[in-house]
Structures are given as structure tokens and as C-alpha cells.
Amino acid sequence: MRARSLILPISVAGATLALSALLVVVAGGSPLLAFAALLDGSISSIPSLGETLARSTGLILCALAAVVAFRAGVLNIGVEGQLLMGAAAAAAIGPLFESPSVSRLALLSGAALAGALSVLPAFWLAEKRGVPPVLSTILLNLVAAAAVTWLVRGPLRDPAGDYPQSRPLSDEIRLNPLISGFRPSAAVVLALLLAVVVWLVLRETTWGLKLRAAGLSPKATRSAGLNDVRIRGLSFAASGALAGLAGGLEVAAITGRLYDPFAAGIGFTGIAAALLGGTHPLGATAAAVLFAALGVGSNAMQRDAGVPAALATVIPAILVLALLMAKGKRKE
């Protein structure tokens, strides 16, 4: 039975590898050279591995945000916007406190709260007006992007800079690398710990059982005397908080400030990682690290193998589509 369960992921991985190799050939490159360069640029050295882990932080948290929402039956496609709201809150709160420890706690808490609050319009529209969250959250992404544009050109603009960006966080406030010369900070450790926490909550707790039940069958949940609206609302808020925290950590550990445009599709890639990981917290985490490695290794692939770096962004899409097609065919 266990061997049979491996057939689908192995088949999907094989098909993706074959199609990716074909795309490399079409691009005029050598598949072996391209994949070797991809690995070399993402995990083969301490600096490249460190870059992969650093980039994976936001992807992991956005993937977890999608997992929590999807498992509750909420199609939260607004992870990108919730990340932006968290980043904006972090950039605004960070410089307000003199104590570095207080500032870090405040900016990360504010980022998570901003992400959670940003889902309220979508939740209200879904429960009171019947607007599908998949539609409202997509539109709220645009609202969040517009808000960031306004903030970095207005209230949060750095008066000392010409580029539309916020004031930088001081070095005392920012999360520094855990090891000198190795880029990852405590942010990636926090993301991995939260992946384990989300997994344990969904699997071992009563609330996790209620959440999964509400996602599988709202009617049955109501018949059991549970408030499915409340469960969905809390799950939606938790999803937004995780995405907001991702934005806060991007500011505190990676960029040091807010600018426009920000995030570069981290939220959308996190959703893809959640789908590839089967909406399982640990599977989504592994997929997020894989996507980070592809992003980091793409430059080496272009430099050493002469293959366009954009190809590395196509591979995740192929993986997700192949998995969804395979699952759909198996259900038939």
C-alpha cells in the first residue's frame, strides 16, 4: 500500500523532469548541464545553500497560510496581499521603539495582526454577501499593492532617499545571520518551527479536527453542533496572520525596509507550494524550499548553461499542474 502511494509523486516528478529537459533543449541548452548548474547554484556550496534557506522563509510561511485556509475550505488567494500588509506594518512599527528586542517583538506582532485584519473584508463579503473568497481575496491583493505604493510615496517615505521606499530598520533591530558568512537568520528557524506547530495543531488538537471537518463538510459540522462560520473565520484570520508574519520577516531579515514593488510573487508561489505539498504543512514546507532552490539556482543555470533563468520559474508551474491533472484523473 505504501509503495502504491508513491506511484503518483514519482510519476509526476518524472513527467516534470522530462518536460523540463525538453524545454531546455528547445531553449538551445543541454539538460544535464542545466540541471547540474541549477543544483550547483542552489545547494552545492555553503553560500548557495544559505541563500536558498534565506529565500525559503517567506515561501514557507505563505505556504502554511494557504494550507490553513484551504484545509478549512477557504480559498484564500490573497496571501500576497496579506504579506504586503504585514510588511507595511513592520516597516511602520520597527523604527518607533528604541529597544531592539521590543522593536522586533512589536514589528512581528504588528505584521501578524495586520495580515489577520486584512482578511476581514473578504470574510465579511463571504459570510454576509455570498462573495466567494477566491474572488474577493484576489481583488484585495490589488488593494494591498496600491496601499504599499501610497505608503512608500507618502507617510512612510524615507526623506533621505530618492527611490520610493521606507526608512531602513537599524542594524540593531534587523535579524542578523545566525552564523557569520551564512545568510539565514532566526527567521528561517521560526518558519520551520511554525511548520511543525501547524502540523501538530491540525493533526493532534481538537481545533485542528474541527477545522478539517469544516473544510470537508460544513453541513456535517453544523449538524454536530459546531459553528462552522466561526471556525472558518478563525482559520481565515490564522492564515492571514501567517502571511502577514512572512511580510514582517521579509522586512526584518531580508530587505530591511519597504519599497515598491515588494514581495515579487512570494505569496502566489507559496500557494503553489501548498498545492504541490498536498495541503500538508510539512509537504508544503518541503515544496517551498524546493521553489526557493529553483529561484536561487536559476541565475547559475543561465550563467553556466546558457538557459534562460525564467525557465526555473516555469518548473514549479509544471509540477503543480502535473500533480493536479494526475489527481483529477485518478478521481475519475
Q: In angstroms, rounded to a whole number, what is the distance separating the alpha carbons of residues 260 and 90? A: 15
Predicted pLDDT of residue 8: 62
For residue range 294-332, list pLDDT tens digits in order: 888 877 777 777 777 777 777 777 777 777 776 655 555
Range in 22-26, 74-78, 141-145 with the lowest mean pLDDT: 22-26
For residue range 142-169, list pLDDT tens digits in order: 999 999 999 999 999 998 877 889 999 9
Flag whether pLDDT at 4 surpasses 80.
no
Flag whether pLDDT at 34 surpasses 70.
yes
Residues 6+ apart with CB under 8 A from 133: 74, 75, 76, 77, 78, 122, 123, 125, 126, 236
Please choose, from the candidates 266, 256, 265, the residue with its C-alpha nearest in 3D space to the C-alpha of residue 56. 266
Domain ranges of the chain: 46-264
Flag whether pLDDT at 241 surpasses 80.
yes
Beta partners for residue 182, in sequence order: 179
Grade residue 109 by pLDDT with cuts at 50, 70 and 90: very high
Percentage of the chain beyond pLDDT 70 is: 94
Predicted pLDDT of residue 7: 63
C-alpha distances out from residue 224 to 70, 118, 236, Å: 21, 30, 21
Predicted pLDDT of residue 330: 54
Predicted pLDDT of residue 5: 47
Q: Are 304 and 37 in contact (CB under 8 A)?
A: yes
Q: Are 80 and 244 in contact (CB under 8 A)?
A: no
Percentage of the chain beyond pLDDT 90 is: 56
Average pLDDT, the chain: 88
Grade residue 1 by pLDDT with cuts at 50, 70 and 90: very low
